[in-house]
A and B are shown apart, each in its own frame.
Chain A
Amino acid sequence: MFATYRPLLPALAYGAWLRIRIQFARTLLGSSWIGLSTLLTMAVLGTIYGTLTGVDDWSAYWVYVALGLVSWNTLASALTASCTLLERSRERLLNQPLPVGVVVLEEWLSASVSLLIALTAVLLVMGLLEPQLWGHLLMGGWLGLINLLLGCLWLTLLIAPIAVSIADIHQLMPVLLQIGFLASPILFYRQSLGSLSWVTNLNPLYTWVRLARDPFLGQPHWGVQGLVLGGQLLLVLVLLARLDRKRMAVIRWL
């Protein structure tokens, strides 16, 4: 598997960069929009939800909301994109003997670049209010981000081949993600729900938001993060090998 993918890596990275270029082609600010949209969403929704839930420490709350939004948006974008990823890559998969995993990795790399751009914007702005954010990034924040990205990767490797044969998944995914977003403590603190706080445990995707956000809030959870890292790496390798092995079963639906 490594021998297959290693020569493709330069093209793969360049392809991911091209995807970002396509997304923001002809815009005035280019990929800066990723950071700006995150900050704008944080400002508007944060103000509304902060006021509704009676936040005391606005500075810490902005950081909480911004990191939650960055993490959730990365995860939600990856899951939504995974439903149509292989369909969108139909032309390439049916005309080039590329491993199917290449299109997944390319998509994942461009999602990773988007995350870095959004996070940089958040750190630059929020770092003025909470300078310890930069220290938290070095102390464990990086590991949380890697776990978030690995989660995006193996979930895409799992969902993309299923979604290519079951068209309903593409319709179902946005609904599930919207419910998950509104029912999870991303824009509000968990304790704001009072007796209903158990609801937050129902959304498994929230786990990755916590893995990415908690280290920036001073809770690195080194042990858990290490275990999750190992488990996710294994899952990525297994699912990538499976996807390439099941190539024909996947592209026959394209």
Chain B
Amino acid sequence: MILIHYSDQLIKSSVPLWVLGMHRSGTSFCVRALQRHGVLLPPNLLAPAADNPDGFQESADLVALNDAWLATSGAAWDACWPLTLLQQSTDQDRVPGLSRESQRLLMRWCRPGLGQALALKDPRLCRTLPQLAQALGPDWLNFGLGVVRDPAAVVASIGYRDDMPALKALALWLRHNLEMVDHRRLAPAVAHWPLVSFERLITNPNNELADSVQAWQQAGLTLHTTTDSQLTIRELPNPPNRLLDVPDAWLCIAQAFHQAMAQANSLGDVPESALHPVRELLDGTPALSQQLLALEAQRRLQLGEQLARERRGRSDPGLLGEDDLSQQEQPPTAAANADAPPYVQLHQVCVDLRGREQRRSLRRMLLQRQGPSGLRPLALDQLNLRIDRGERIGLLGHNGSGKTTLLRLLSGIYTPTGGRIERHGPALAPVIEQSLGFSQELTGLQLARYSHKLHRAGEQSWDDYLAEISSFTELDDALATPIKTWSLGMRTRLSFALITFRAVQGLALDEGLAAGDQWFQRKARRHLDQFIEQAGTLVLASHSEDLLRRYCSRGVILERGRVRYDGSLYRALQLYRGQLH
């Protein structure tokens, strides 16, 4: 993974360049092409995933913000109804707070005016741009562009990635593109935003973007062509001619709309006559609304049945994805390492922690038959799992599903009470609870010295180690005082530094380490990225989709100590969300 870091100052003095486009329409590729013209990216980018190995070029912070905006209208990223429908009934009281949060986030990155461009990309922007424009003001909308791609190709791609029915994916494509074009009413400048055809862009990126880049330069944006980054151009499969369960007439409307957009130079150039049939189809066709409602009801029914089966203790691997699809979704590293020995492999591993809540008394020992209680399930139950070197695995599961137990097992804290664990390398280094251990009476220096003797004595002198810790934590003289006099934030800094200033091969990480205050966001996030990068293999247990997306490409869902799903992170997140709702 290539991590791109710009100085804070450079980012703060940049100008927003909005990149709009439906999911799977090539906006990531477009931003990578724009990077070659000196366009910057915001911090905290989503990590590459199995289905997008080159990275997403969108900030997890912006995605979270847009998700929150969508939630104020009771919608999620895959809602294809107009957002205004539910605005009176849902979380409207959160709007003022979200407006302030939008201002805070965007102003941290950029400002309206002229300067170097900062690409703000997220497919959700097709829907949330009006809310952001209201929060920020029209000055922020001077520069942007839209990316359009053939509807059938998008439907096929999103159907593969998110297991979405074709009809719903088509409705989503129509809604996103319709609202994207409608944004020309937000401010006069938006009407001049160029429209980029993904099909032409992938063939000749420089040619497709040339006019736009020239227009932006003339308008005062600082752009310059670089050859630092290489664009990986893949051959695209031909889009299907027909879509399953989608009437041809509806697909024709979408294709005509796509053709009109592809021929237009800017959002303002798309003729109103091309929008009318789309509006009619989306908002004036009861048959479409009914079919979309039926699909939603069917999805909920399936999830309900699955949950009911799980509660009865019956597994249903079929629901979790067909075998062929699972195979295609395996991260590339796993396929490449198929012949190499696994880093760790669990064979029918059990961890039995039953009865630990009833620490034995002499009375119980003498009068009752010993043995584990049968009321609780095993912490890990006949678990089979293969982890290859360099894999990034996100562990998902409800509280008590066995995530922490699995982390402890992989890091050698627990040993299997049944089955076998096979290792071809050192155990993963555990970062499970952020604690300084020992006593609050000790000073930061004493704790750092202990940590140095335990982990770093062979590789680094104490003076160098201390200088590094002191500089990173910015605790300076406070290090010589007892930690009981420290604030929680100071303790977190030292704890984080003691954990991450060492070399490890493989990491079993609980999400607590990656949560923090402003200091963390400013300084520690980058260090954590490097720490994880050098660790290579990563198993991260978290409930945070942002974190998992940032660091992992493979997802494993645990349920009552068993693997319920193992495959791409996207499918894991999708299924996990389904289980939750």
Residues of A within 8 A of B (CB): 7-8, 10-11, 14-15, 18, 21-22, 25-26, 91-97, 165-168, 247-248, 251-254
Contacts and interface: CB of A to CB of B under 8 A. Distances in A.
B427 A97 contact: yes
23 contacts: A14-B453, A18-B442, A22-B438, A22-B442, A25-B439, A26-B441, A91-B437, A92-B437, A95-B433, A96-B430, A97-B427, A97-B430, A166-B360, A166-B362, A167-B359, A167-B360, A167-B361, A168-B361, A247-B415, A248-B351, A252-B352, A253-B359, A254-B356
6 closest Cβ pairs, A-B complex: A97-B412, A25-B441, A11-B453, A11-B454, A22-B439, A168-B362
A18 B359 contact: no
B402 to A, nearest CB: 14
B298 interface: no
B408 interface: yes
Interface in B399-450: 408, 411-417, 427, 430, 432-433, 435, 437-439, 441-442, 446, 449-450
Contacts of B457: 10-11
B365 interface: yes
Interface of B: 351-353, 356, 359-362, 365, 408, 411-417, 427, 430, 432-433, 435, 437-439, 441-442, 446, 449-450, 453-454, 457-458, 482
Contacts of B411: 97
B435 A252 contact: no
Contacts of A25: 439, 441, 482
A149 to B, nearest CB: 23
Contacts of A165: 359-360
A106 B206 CA distance: 66
A40 B358 CA distance: 43
Contacts of A97: 411-413, 427, 430
A25 B438 CA distance: 13
B430 A248 contact: no
A3 to B, nearest CB: 13
Nearest to A248: B415
Given A14-B449, A95-B430, A95-B432, A251 B414 contact: yes
Contact of B361 (A7, A96, A166, A254): A166
Nearest to B434: A95
A7 B415 CA distance: 22
A99 to B, nearest CB: 10
Contacts of A254: 356
Contacts of A166: 359-362, 365
A160 to B, nearest CB: 14
Given A22-B441, A25-B441, A248-B414, A91 B359 contact: no
Contacts of B413: 93-97, 251
Nearest to B510: A95
A40 to B, nearest CB: 24
